Structure 1
Amino acid sequence: MGFKRIEWIFFIAFLGVNIFLINIYIGSRNDQSIITTSSQKIAIEQRLENDDITYDGTLSSVSETGYYLSGTATTMQSLYNENATDNKKLLNDGTTTFDGTKLTHTLSEHFLVKDKEQLAKASQTYWKKRVMNGSDYTYQVHFSTIGENQVELTATQSYEGIPINDSSSQLVFSFASENGQYVNKNYTQTYVANLTPLREKMTLYSEKDAINTLYINNRIAKKATIEWIQLAYTLILNVRGQNVYVPAWFVSIEKADKSTQTEIVNAFSNRIITNASVRKVENY
């Protein structure tokens, strides 16, 4: 196949993806009046206070920037084979199994930590030295689960400082409390390669905008507590095996009955996508 023909195939493919993304973006902007328009002139902070909704600090109105990102969910065996000699040394402290895009490494000697407060630091020290591409992962406290007897620490890849909150890009260490200390017997890993912007950098809706959208759509109940707010990339689309991610605001809310919910707001459109399914496109 001639080089020029290959160039045209890639050009047409990327043009198709961009046209598809533009249609999604325009559609979401057109829908925006339904979900974010409010005739009230009272500031969102005052409305939250009136409903006994609490949060720490202040709601930021800073508009950050982000991209539509494309990436490939890596077959972990392939990632291992890319540098098999070095990776064999990295993983020689246990047994490794590969299941498509997921790796599970079981330690020969369990990883022990006595103090819960030191779990994140100890785990990070380990994965920077003993995990494939370990330096690409950053600990995410908001996406981790820290219970009394069970702890699941999650680290993710990032792009220009914004983490990717998706199962395709995670390093997860699970600890159980045993005999006064926390024990880790294995970890799981997924990895996204070739992260590439599909369009130019775009301005995002702010943290305050996202909270306002959730409030006027009755996603934040009276007497609730906004526990944390985190900007992260989330998976919205799979095009012929290529993942497409968008920046989104993840908001954890504790209700008056102490149950917790996590809401997701697309930071490009300010549209709630909490229960949205990942679209799959085979042809375009």
Structure 2
Amino acid sequence: MDFKRIEVIFLIVFGCLNIFLFASYKQNQHVETVNNDDVSQNTMILREMHNDQITVPTLANKVQSGYYLSSHSSQALQTASQRLQNQRYSFSDDRLYSRLVRPISAKDGKYTEALKEILTNPRMIALGTHYRYSKLFSTTDRIVYTQKLPEGDLYDAQGEIIFQVTNKQIVSYEQTYINKVTTLREKEPTITEKQAVLSLYSNNAIANGATIKWTALGYSRLLDANNSSVYIPTWFIGVENKNSGNIQIKRINAFSNALMKASDDANLSSSVSS
């Protein structure tokens, strides 16, 4: 047996193994350094928020996922509204405006209970089963329902029902609806709840003394083009103002971590009563 040859082969294999182990060690060391840098930066930002007297709840570090979605202009709501009864309605820019002939009363202010039957009746609300109640976006005089998508909830002016409450009665509502939703890309990871809140602070979008009241991940519109709209996962963050007690809703792009401009829809962008 050629022991010299075996010895050479052994040395070569041993050398390759050492090179592989050394490369793996350096790579892990780099990843650990990056992770440590992220943790240190997050800790520093949280400390700054504490110094600015900003109250922050426990924030999750869980990575979620979502899609780029697209929808095209459709007449689905206009078509379904032809069955409506006991109301006077009209359309403006694909938004339905309706005033009820008989206002809806609710015992003890439980409007969502009163609306359960209404939403399942296509003669009262067109496509009503496609929406769910949103406590986060509702106020004492506005009961908000957001459109449900297979990929998640849509928090946008193009897919909602807003019931108006006057003198403890639901007297009118406005409604929008998107149809023919398609995915543009494969599912992608989103930033975490913690990353979204820290990014909001880094963009100077949280005033001193404010309180982070809630966060929610849903889809909102990124852009409109050629009679279609693109939607992305978005972190919505409710920030309570220290002086007024009102809650202002901010948005962070859950893919790019960028601060998004205020929506043109009042219930998703302006201050609401806490």
Same fold (TM over 0.5): yes
Q: Which residue of 1 aligns with 2:148?
A: 158
Counterpart amino acid of 1:120?
T
CA contact (8 A) 2:77 2:176 kept: no
Distance change in 2, residues 1:77/1:51 (3 Å): closer
Distance change in 2, residues 1:232/1:41 (3 Å): closer
CA contact (8 A) 1:106 1:187 kept: yes
Q: Which residue of 2 aligns with 1:124?
A: 116
Counterpart amino acid of 2:173?
Y
| Secondary structure class of the residue paired with 1:156 | strand
State the Cα RMSD in Å: 2.5
Counterpart amino acid of 1:169?
G
Deviation at 1:162, TM superposition (A): 2.4
Q: Which residue of 2 aligns with 1:53?
A: 54
TM-score (norm 1): 0.71
| Secondary structure class of the residue paired with 1:272 | coil
Q: Which residue of 2 aligns with 1:17?
A: none
Question: What do the CA deviations read for 1:123-179 (whole angstroms, capped 9, x no partner)?
Answer: 233212231111100111112222xxxx111111122362212111111100012xx
Which of the numbers 182, 187, 196 marks the counterpart of 1:201?
A: 187
| Secondary structure class of the residue paired with 2:60 | coil
Distance change in 2, residues 1:197/1:145 (3 Å): same
Counterpart amino acid of 1:51?
D
Q: Which residue of 1 aligns with 2:108?
A: 115
| Secondary structure class of the residue paired with 1:143 | coil
| Secondary structure class of the residue paired with 1:219 | coil
Aligned pair count reads 224
| Secondary structure class of the residue paired with 1:70 | strand
Q: Which residue of 1 aligns with 2:257?
A: 270
Q: Which residue of 1 aligns with 2:72?
A: 72
Which of the numbers 146, 164, 167 marks the counterpart of 2:157?
A: 167
Counterpart amino acid of 1:145?
T
Distance change in 2, residues 1:194/1:145 (3 Å): same
Distance change in 2, residues 1:275/1:112 (3 Å): closer
Q: Which residue of 2 aligns with 1:137?
A: 131
Q: Distance in 2 between the 1:45 and 1:123 partners?
A: 42
Question: What do the CA deviations read for 1:53-90 (whole angstroms, capped 9, x no partner)?
Answer: 2244x211111111111013433664337xx5xxx2xx
CA contact (8 A) 2:77 2:177 kept: no
1:87-106 pair list within 5 angstroms: 88=83, 91-106=84-99
Q: Distance in 2 between the 1:207 and 1:240 partners?
A: 33
Q: Which residue of 2 aligns with 1:186?
A: 172
Q: Distance in 2 between the 1:261 and 1:101 partners?
A: 27
Q: Distance in 1 between the 2:114 and 2:103 partners?
A: 13
CA contact (8 A) 1:76 1:103 kept: no
Matched, 1:228 2:181: no
CA contact (8 A) 2:95 2:174 kept: yes
Deviation at 1:214, TM superposition (A): 1.3
Counterpart amino acid of 2:52?
D
Q: Which residue of 2 aligns with 1:29?
A: none
Please tell me whether Structure 1 or Structure 2 has the larger radius of gyration of its CA atoms: 2
| Secondary structure class of the residue paired with 2:41 | coil
Question: Which has the higher mean CA deviation after the structures are superposed, 203-212 or 99-108?
Answer: 99-108
Distance change in 2, residues 1:73/1:172 (3 Å): farther
Identity of counterpart residues, as a percentage? Answer: 30
Q: Which residue of 1 aligns with 2:22?
A: none
Q: Which runs of 5+ in 2 are unaligned?
A: 1-37, 265-274
CA contact (8 A) 1:156 1:171 kept: yes
Matched, 1:246 2:232: yes
CA contact (8 A) 2:71 2:230 kept: yes
Q: Which runs of 5+ in 1 are unaligned?
A: 1-36, 278-284
TM-score (norm 2): 0.73
CA contact (8 A) 1:76 1:102 kept: no
